[in-house]
Structure 1
Amino acid sequence: MASTAASPPPAAGDHPRVLLRGFLSSETCKELEFVHRSCGAAGYRPSVVSTSLPHLAATGCGHLLLPFVPIRERLRDAVESFFDCHFDLFIEFTGLISWCKGSSIGWHSDDNKPYLRQRAFTAVCYLNNHGEDYTGGILQFQDGDPSSIIPVAGDVVIYSADNRNVHRVNEVTDGERLTLTLWFTRDRAYDEDPKLLTFLSQTSLSCEPTEQNSYIPMPASDNMYWFSYDQSGFDIRCARVHILGFSFHSSSGESNTSVLPDEDDPIELLGKQLRLGRGDDVLEKIFSNSLHALQVVQFYYWKAPVLAARARREQSFPGSETGCYQIIHNSKGTELPLPCNDTLAQTILGSYNTAEVAFEWNDFALAVAMWESYSEELKKQLLTFLPYWLSSETIFVVDPSELQNQSNSPMRSGFASFFGDVAGREL
């Protein structure tokens, strides 16, 4: 568990806010970054990418809510403790938000619209580092101390959502500023959990725990992934894979001139089966859709050091996971004809330092198998916890002792460590 050090509390009635350093571990930040870069869609304002919990549930990625559960509880406890709440708090919104190049917001309080009056408190968790991953994007308060926050991965700032904490975020000048943001309310009518559980019950209860590939993501409407900027734009799914050196290819292996009938929208190909390529090489594995492929790509870069070490150990064993896919060489002609302004995408999202990762197809093939294991385990856990959540209409950390008939389950032994620091799992 990451240690937490708080700055001195403000005087009551002034500008109540607190900075909690090291609230989230580095691995927790990286897991949430993986979720966001795998699933994010165009945001609520220009130059913003967001991943909300309902979006995860609606796209068949409800199992990816599990990393959020212990974090939400810890944050609620921190807010209730700091503000000495003598009432129940409910979480109104939980979401991952990227502020990309050109984004900013002027002076405001978080309850400054009639439809936001229910918001009482805000928690902003920084998932990457100012000066390393992006420039600009400093949180500044109009009055009181601390007057500005320079984002450091793992730090959390908590403040009241009213006009005692009028603030702004100055312009992001390069890169992608990533946060986990929660708003808390005293009004049960705005509790996001019952609505979220409705999504989860509709999308998850129809799946049996043993059902194969029930964790494969299903894309939302294509326009949710289109990032407009002035007169140009790009598809976020394409941009994410291109920035990391990959490309989408026809699943049939045929030339791209034959995969697209004249009347079809090329972006619709992203919801269909496809392959991943790098340079002139294409992995023979067929992915169900672009989000499926994107999740594996992002997983590979999240776990690259672990993957490389494990792949080296397993190379000498016949039938190992690294040998399950072939590489199709000289397949440049099969790349899908997708309209995407790659230059603009790199300008807005920034470029990732992939030089530290010595790419190997063997490592990537292993990432496919390890991503499947990671996703399948989360899916099983979701289906185990969901009945408890539905009965209480609340998403919470389930005490292992409350689980029935789980004594022989291989999952049981992992519950305590999973919820102690959800992102500390070694794959």
Structure 2
Amino acid sequence: MRQISNFVYCDDFIADLRYETRLMANPYYDYPYLIIENFLSAEACAEIAAYTSEKSEGERALVKHSQLGVIVPELEEDIRKTAIHQLPEALLEGYNLSFAYHQKQIEDYFKVALTTATEVQALEYTNGGFYIKHADDSNELVNSEGETVGFTQVAPARKITTVLFATTHRDEEGEGMHFSGGELRFNYLSGADGVPVCIRPKAGDMVIFPSNPVYSHEVLPVTGGYRLTLVQWHDAIIS
């Protein structure tokens, strides 16, 4: 393992691997990702979750593949089982204001200048929903034995990933907009004990990390409740 921040280590394989965008956080930080607590209020999160669960008809999320240089999205629920909702502007107003307020903090943390971004996607995971290991800017290359041997970049405009949790993780099911299971796990990042980093957030927390293969991650299967995140991918000038 290779130490990449005060409290987090990276798998040697991924640290030595060649990939197109080698963006990393400052190694003297406590963590190589950034968590902004209370990015959005509990009330605003509850309003968004109520909209997606009661009023919006989500679409099944697709998986992007590169075929002969062309990006082709396909429905593959053995890889990803989630639904995408588009939010009305009225529900995004508070999110956009908060993002503008925190943008400099994000840019300073990763030493980038954010430029363009995708539209906000509200990603819904209900009981049994999941997303297997993936990098946000690349497709994983696997050999005949199922071993990862590299990555090929398919979304070069994704430099920074932001994930806002609109519902709260709990170890056990409870009333309200909560979920059990569904942890965000970074597959190549761990503590000194070798245990993979798992994020168990509360509603209103935003997790920010580079979109490259070092930060490959998965959503573990949801075992109960309602997991809702607001996700964007941001292009950036890397200083």
TM-score, normalization by structure 1: 0.36
Q: Which residue identity is paired with 1:107? A: K
120, 123, 129: which one aligns with 1:94: 120
**How is 1:155-166 mapped onto 2 (pairs within 5 angstroms)?**
155-166=205-216
Question: In 2, are the aligned partners of 1:14 and 1:144 still within 8 Å (CA)?
Answer: no
**How is 1:224-239 mapped onto 2 (pairs within 5 angstroms)?**
none
Q: Following the alignment from structure 2 to structure 1, what is the Cα–Cα distance between the partners of residues 30 and 45?
A: 31
Q: Following the alignment from structure 2 to structure 1, what is the Cα–Cα distance between the partners of residues 36 and 29?
A: 20
Detail structure 1 runs of 4+ shifted over 4 Å in the superposition.
7-10, 12-15
The reply to whether residue 120 of structure 1 matches residue 159 of structure 2 is yes
> Could you say if the C-alpha distance between residues 25 and 142 of structure 1 is closer, same or farther in structure 2, counting changes exceeding 3 Å?
same
The reply to whether residue 48 of structure 1 matches residue 82 of structure 2 is yes
Q: Which residue identity is paired with 2:211? A: A
8, 18, 22: which one aligns with 2:34: 18
Q: Which residue identity is paired with 1:109? A: A
The residue that corresponds to 1:195 in the other structure is none
* Count of residues in Structure 1 that have an aligned counterpart in Structure 2: 173
Q: Which residue identity is paired with 2:180? A: T
Deviation per residue, 1:32-85 (Å, 9 max, x gap): 2233232241231544222225xx4xxxxx444433321332353332121122
129, 153, 162: which one aligns with 1:103: 129
Deviation at 1:161, TM superposition (A): 0.3
> Could you say if the C-alpha distance between residues 80 and 140 of structure 1 is closer, same or farther in structure 2, counting changes exceeding 3 Å?
same
Q: Following the alignment from structure 1 to structure 2, what is the Cα–Cα distance between the partners of residues 50 and 118?
A: 20
The residue that corresponds to 1:425 in the other structure is none
Structure (1/2) with the larger helix percentage = 1
The reply to whether residue 134 of structure 1 matches residue 179 of structure 2 is yes
Which structure has more relative contact order (CA 8 Å, sep 6+)? It is 2
User: Where do 5+ consecutive residues of structure 1 fail to align?
Assistant: 1-6, 57-61, 188-427
The residue that corresponds to 2:236 in the other structure is 186
Deviation per residue, 1:368-394 (Å, 9 max, x gap): xxxxxxxxxxxxxxxxxxxxxxxxxxx
Question: In 2, are the aligned partners of 1:159 and 1:165 still within 8 Å (CA)?
Answer: yes
The reply to whether residue 79 of structure 1 matches residue 118 of structure 2 is no
Q: Which residue identity is paired with 2:222? A: V
Q: Following the alignment from structure 1 to structure 2, what is the Cα–Cα distance between the partners of residues 65 and 125?
A: 12
RMSD (CA atoms): 2.9
31, 37, 44: which one aligns with 2:47: 31
Q: Following the alignment from structure 1 to structure 2, what is the Cα–Cα distance between the partners of residues 71 and 36?
A: 20
Q: Following the alignment from structure 1 to structure 2, what is the Cα–Cα distance between the partners of residues 119 and 14?
A: 24
Deviation at 1:165, TM superposition (A): 0.7
> Could you say if the C-alpha distance between residues 69 and 100 of structure 1 is closer, same or farther in structure 2, counting changes exceeding 3 Å?
same
Q: Which residue identity is paired with 2:184? A: L
> Could you say if the C-alpha distance between residues 153 and 186 of structure 1 is closer, same or farther in structure 2, counting changes exceeding 3 Å?
same
> Could you say if the C-alpha distance between residues 120 and 15 of structure 1 is closer, same or farther in structure 2, counting changes exceeding 3 Å?
farther
Deviation per residue, 1:304-348 (Å, 9 max, x gap): xxxxxxxxxxxxxxxxxxxxxxxxxxxxxxxxxxxxxxxxxxxxx
Q: Which residue identity is paired with 1:29? A: C
Deviation per residue, 1:340-369 (Å, 9 max, x gap): xxxxxxxxxxxxxxxxxxxxxxxxxxxxxx
**How is 1:300-379 mapped onto 2 (pairs within 5 angstroms)?**
none
Q: Secondary structure at the match of 2:133?
A: strand
Structure (1/2) with the larger strand percentage = 2
> Could you say if the C-alpha distance between residues 163 and 181 of structure 1 is closer, same or farther in structure 2, counting changes exceeding 3 Å?
same
Deviation at 1:92, TM superposition (A): 2.0
The residue that corresponds to 2:188 in the other structure is 143
Question: In 1, are the aligned partners of 2:40 and 2:94 still within 8 Å (CA)?
Answer: no
**How is 1:208-223 mapped onto 2 (pairs within 5 angstroms)?**
none
User: Where do 5+ consecutive residues of structure 2 fail to align?
Assistant: 1-6, 9-24, 63-76, 140-152, 192-196
Deviation per residue, 1:285-310 (Å, 9 max, x gap): xxxxxxxxxxxxxxxxxxxxxxxxxx
Question: In 2, are the aligned partners of 1:122 and 1:161 still within 8 Å (CA)?
Answer: yes
Question: In 1, are the aligned partners of 2:26 and 2:109 still within 8 Å (CA)?
Answer: no
The residue that corresponds to 1:172 in the other structure is 222
Deviation at 1:179, TM superposition (A): 0.9
> Could you say if the C-alpha distance between residues 14 and 111 of structure 1 is closer, same or farther in structure 2, counting changes exceeding 3 Å?
farther
> Could you say if the C-alpha distance between residues 15 and 129 of structure 1 is closer, same or farther in structure 2, counting changes exceeding 3 Å?
closer
Greater radius of gyration (CA): 1
Q: Following the alignment from structure 1 to structure 2, what is the Cα–Cα distance between the partners of residues 35 and 81?
A: 33
Question: In 2, are the aligned partners of 1:26 and 1:153 still within 8 Å (CA)?
Answer: yes
Q: Which residue identity is paired with 1:83? A: F
> Could you say if the C-alpha distance between residues 88 and 181 of structure 1 is closer, same or farther in structure 2, counting changes exceeding 3 Å?
closer
